[in-house]
Amino acid sequence: MKWRVMLAVLTTAAIWAGILPAVSVENALVGTWQLKSFSLIVVDTKETSRPYGENPTGYIQFSPGGHMVMFLAAGELKPPAAGHYTDADRADVHRAIVGAYAASYTVEGNMVTYHVLTSWRPEWIGRDQIRYFEINGKNLTIKTTPVTFSRTGQSIVATLTFDKVE
Q: Using the 8-state DSSP alphabet, how is residue 144 labeled?
A: E
pLDDT of residue 149: 86
Digit-coded pLDDT (tens) for 47-83:
999 988 899 999 999 999 999 999 999 988 888 888 8
CA separation for the pair 163, 166 (Å, rounded): 9
What is the pTM assigned to this prediction?
A: 0.79
Q: Rounded to an integer, what distance in angstroms lies between the CA atom of residue 116 and that of residue 106?
A: 11
Q: Which fold is adopted by the domain 24-164?
A: Lipocalin (2.40.128)
